Amino acid sequence: MLMRWQRWNRQAKVLLWIITLIGVVAALPLGASRMAMEGSSDTVEYVFDYRDIVEVAESQPRPQQFLEDKLAVLKDAGITTMAVYESSLKELAQAGRLTYYNEKDVALLQGKPASEDTNYTYVLFSGPEEEAAVGPIVREAYDRMGVAYRDWSYEGRNGLVIEESLTAAMLKTLDFDPMTLGAIADAGFHILPRFSDRVVPYDAERTASQLERLKAYGVERILFDGESVKGAADQSALHSLDSLGALLNEYGIGLTAIENLKKPQQGLNKLAYLTNYNVVRVYSLSPEDSLSMTQAGIEDRFLLAAKDRNIRMFFLNTTTKNSQDKGIIEQSVDSLAAAMGSESGVIAQMEEAGYPTGIAKAFTFEKASWEKPLRGIVALGAIAIITLLISAFIPAVAIPVFVIGLIGSAGLYVLNSSLMEQGLALGAAVSGPTLALIWVMNRIYSRTIGERRMVGGEAWSVGGSGSAQDPNKEERVQWVFPSVSIGRRLGIAINWFVVATCITLTAVPLVFGLLNNITYSLVLEQFRGVSVLHLAPLFLVAVYVVLYQGSDGRGVIKRAVYLLRQPIRVIWVITAVIVGGIGFYYLSRTGNAGEVSSLELVIRNWLESTFGVRPRFKEFMLGHPPLLLGLFLALRYRAAWAFIIIGTLGQLTMVSTFTHIHTPLYISIVRTLLGLGAGIVIGGIAIFAWIVLEGAWRKWLAPVISKSKYSA
């Protein structure tokens, strides 16, 4: 019965590979659909923060003239849009619409002693036009907040007395300044309104009126200011997000998602769903970068964002800097305009790269009826390849593991389909490169040690890993295997590298097929488990090298017990510290928040400018060359297996490249192919260097050492 069960499991593995390959084929149309979506929008929009210009203008001798001049300069440079915020007393004062005073200031203004009984805020409009335009939004805000006010005038100017302190009055969020909206539109700019969730409770009628006015100015999308979208705070009580989503659809206004936030704005995912993902992602150039970055730096950053991250909107900030050495106040409006708008400036380079200037549009996508069943087939393929990985370590459980995977995935799909897809994608991503290296190690075992298997030094003996006739016999580890010609070793190494890469790449379609959703392209959802993907294959391959002698998995427990009983040596501790340090650095630069060295940044920029798409450093430098060298050496030297463990990095990184769903699929394909090509070239150079060094050793050094030993 046991033999029959083992036979069934062996046959099941063949069937599992067939199911995996069917899942791979089923994922290809999903990839084609995604590429069509990614090519549906290439227009890029450049947005400037209007509030920043107003604040910079305050430091100038003629603020209003400065503001008008810089708007014209930015328009000529190719900036298409101005971002405006909901206003406040401070912003209205900066724009010259009104002035405000506290109790002491107004007493000084009137030449009277300040009242000790009140601490009110006094507002004077700059003129009749300003009173007519901004007076209603000031009154509306304080009516909404239940703050008492009354009319007031001074020397022919009308105003208000607001019965609260100036500090409190300035915290109130007012509606958009209509005079600012008009001035921006008259200057020929589009408008990007920035709503906040500071106006509570949510008022659907007020919001509808705002959107109607904004639509009259040609507004096509909005951007939220703060940690949450408008209406997020009142969703549970008032269903405010549902209301806002319906209003946005009614007026044909889309959303803007901010790139590289530590935490997504609360409620944005819900609104994106309600608006059928009418979302454009925006990259922001910080005020500090606007002062310090060169044109080349901005150009590189924007091109990379548009090409590699599907960014279609760029938000420019400005600020001032006091220069004591020069005795002036520096500002970056002019330098930004020059960098963006010159004949060879950023905008010209972006257009040359295929990103014309205009109003950013959301990617268009349609979920065809055939996509859902195909994703189901892809999920089966993912379950199959995960089962194959588990059965590589526990050979007799392929059938029950697959059945459990089917049942568990079905249950998780009912509870949370997104979590199920991400879990299967992570499992497939880990399984592909791990299975590839396990296949490689099995080929090496069959050509070198056969049934024998153990890792250790000269002081180690192979406890329980002797021959089949005497499994308890102890024998020493063989570090050098019988010689094989260089040509044969090289041919076998290349063949194994190609086959291993093909096995690894079976995981790629499964990953992008499972995550074929606009939410991942817009980074509203992200692939989870980046650290697991970058550690698990390395760990599993290392375990297989240390404990397993091949596909049968015999004697694993005995080997584990034997290793655990060995005394801890200083060299082991040193090795563990070194490996831990390398692992910490490796994780510190993994994922979206990872950090890279300045040297790697230089190499990255060179690769980007040379090839248009930069291959990943971990592939072509740290992964593929060690694997190729290790395969070449493994038929001769046991210690070369360490290179194969390190080479797992290149295989897993190929799969990791495709987990960045916000990167266009064709970019990931090109990046992987470039990495393979460069890695093979560098690996070939490493092999050639080894052959030269090994020949020199045998011809000159080895005879000298042998002679000295003989003489002694």
Average pLDDT over residues 300-328: 85
In the chain, the largest separation of any two C-alpha atoms, in whole Å, equals 114
Q: What's residue 594's pLDDT? A: 45
* pLDDT band, residue 325 (cuts 50/70/90): low
Q: Which of 335-349, 477-491, 591-605 has the lowest mean pLDDT?
A: 591-605
Q: How many percent of the chain have pLDDT more than 90?
A: 56
CATH of 88-175, one of 3.30.160, 1.10.3470, 1.20.120, 3.30.70: 3.30.70
Q: Which of 98-107, 134-143, 242-251, 600-609 has the lowest mean pLDDT?
A: 600-609
Across-strand partners of 154? 157
Q: What's residue 10's pLDDT? A: 76
Q: Which of 317-331, 568-582, 618-632 has the lowest mean pLDDT?
A: 568-582
354-366, pLDDT tens digit by residue? 999 999 999 998 8
Indicate whether 216 pLDDT > 60. yes
Transcribe 64-127 into DSSP letters. HHHHHHHHHHHHHHT--EEEEE---HHHHHHTTSEEEE-HHHHHHHHTSPPPSS---EEEEESS
Average pLDDT over residues 99-118: 88
- Ranges of each domain in the chain: 43-86+177-360, 88-175, 415-711
* pLDDT band, residue 178 (cuts 50/70/90): very high
Average pLDDT over residues 427-455: 81
Q: What's residue 620's pLDDT? A: 82
* pLDDT band, residue 1 (cuts 50/70/90): low
Nearest to 219, CA basis, from 383, 351, 340, 47 = 47
Both tokens assigned to 442: 């099995």
Q: Using an 8 Å Cβ cutoff, are 229 and 265 in contact? A: yes
d(CA 459, CA 477): 9
Q: What's residue 464's pLDDT? A: 39
502-513, pLDDT tens digit by residue? 999 999 999 999
Those residues with Cβ within 8 angstroms of residue 169's Cβ, 6 or more apart along the chain or in another chain: 89, 100, 121, 147, 162
Q: Using an 8 Å Cβ cutoff, are 532 and 433 in contact? A: no
* pLDDT band, residue 466 (cuts 50/70/90): very low
Average pLDDT over residues 298-317: 92
CATH for 43-86+177-360 is 3.20.20.370
380-417, pLDDT tens digit by residue? 999 999 999 999 888 888 889 999 999 999 999 999 98
64-96, pLDDT tens digit by residue? 899 999 999 999 999 999 999 999 999 999 999
Q: What's residue 470's pLDDT? A: 46
* pLDDT band, residue 112 (cuts 50/70/90): confident
Nearest to 258, CA basis, from 329, 317, 188 = 317
**What is the CB-side half-sphere exposure of residue 286 using CA atoms within 13 A?**
7
Nearest to 433, CA basis, from 537, 330, 587, 586 = 537
* pLDDT band, residue 458 (cuts 50/70/90): very low
b/e burial code for range 89-102 (CB count within 10 A of at least 16 → b): bebbbbbbbbbbbb
Helices (H) and strands (E) in the chain, counts: 31, 13
Q: Using an 8 Å Cβ cutoff, are 13 and 280 in contact? A: no
d(CA 372, CA 378): 10
Q: What's residue 189's pLDDT? A: 96
Phi, psi (degrees; rounded to nearest 5) at 304 = -65, -40
d(CA 232, CA 270): 9
Nearest to 392, CA basis, from 649, 650, 12, 652 = 12
3-state secondary structure of 453: coil
Indicate whether 108 pLDDT > 80. yes
